[in-house]
Amino acid sequence: MFESKTGILFIAGIGFFVFAFVSNGALPMMMYKDLPEKTAEQVVNPRLVRQFRNLQDRYPEAFLKAFGELPEPKEIPADATADVRAALIADNAKLEEQVVLTSAEALRLGRQVYVGEGCWHCHSQFVRPVSNESLRFGPVAKTEEYQNELQRPVMFGTRRVGPDLSREGGRRSNDWHAVHFFKPSLVSTDSPMPDYPWLFEGAPDQPNRRGLALIAYVQWLGSWLDSYPYYEEIDHLRSSE
């Protein structure tokens, strides 16, 4: 076989195939074998909690029916003794834990709705390091962003009938998303996205449990990044005035 160029090229082709298989499969597995997979509770962050509380404020009746009432932290008086302060801090930690558990419940359901409704057919969740995608969508995707239970299986996607959604969190308000899911053409005239009226009780200001969960899930996407779009920047500008 090695007596002809064809044989040498054949063997070389097999060798390159094996090398590519090992370098693209086995090597990443070895590199990130010590990177723990996070649960939904562990990926809940203050930005998501803020959006989740905003959903409660915007749609109180629907939210109460879907997820109950989120507890508010107790105010700690400025003149509180050390013992009282410690007790209140401990109580607030328990209340915050309840909020995290409810938020994680919404994230899990929101992802199921995202998958079930086929959102991944038209939206990717992966900013590629090519074609200046970072200028349009945000930072290029990193491995650690997908190391959690909400990315099993990952929603990389290969089609972009709509935009990449991995940096969608915080870009638009909860109200915008509610109207968009109810009837996309109301906020995006030429959108080819279908209506999802079954995520509401007859009107965009009445999202049901699945609708609220999907909005929470979309607002979570990218909320873990150092740079967070829109609202946080506006708050920062307002506070600096």
- Contact criterion met (CB below 8 Å) for 220 and 107: yes
One-letter amino acid for residue 95 of the chain: L
> What is the reported pLDDT for 184?
96
> What's the alpha-carbon Rg for the chain, to the nearest Å?
23
- The residue count for the chain: 241
C-alpha of 49 from chain center? 12
> What is the reported pLDDT for 5?
82
Q: Where are the domains of the chain?
A: 40-234
* Measured CA distances, 116 to 83, 91, 109, 111, 193 (Å): 50, 38, 10, 8, 15
> What is the reported pLDDT for 217?
97
Torsion angles phi and psi, residue 57, rounded to 5: -70, -40
CB atoms within 10 A of CB 140: 12
> What is the reported pLDDT for 179?
97
Max CA distance (Å), the chain? 91
Peptide bond into 153 cis (omega under 30): yes
- Contact criterion met (CB below 8 Å) for 95 and 74: yes
Tens of pLDDT along the chain (241 residues)? 667 888 888 888 989 888 888 777 777 778 777 888 999 999 999 999 999 999 999 999 999 999 999 999 888 888 888 888 999 999 999 999 999 999 999 999 999 999 999 999 999 999 998 888 888 888 899 888 999 999 988 888 888 899 999 999 988 999 999 999 999 999 999 899 999 999 999 999 999 999 999 999 999 999 999 876 655 555 555 555 4
Q: Which CATH class is domain 40-234?
A: mainly alpha
Torsion angles phi and psi, residue 228, rounded to 5: -120, 130
Look-up: residue for tokens 């090992």? 22
Q: Alpha-carbon distance 237 to 230, whole Å? A: 11
> What is the reported pLDDT for 67?
97
The token pair that represents 12 in the structure block: 């070389």
Q: Alpha-carbon distance 231 to 113, whole Å? A: 26
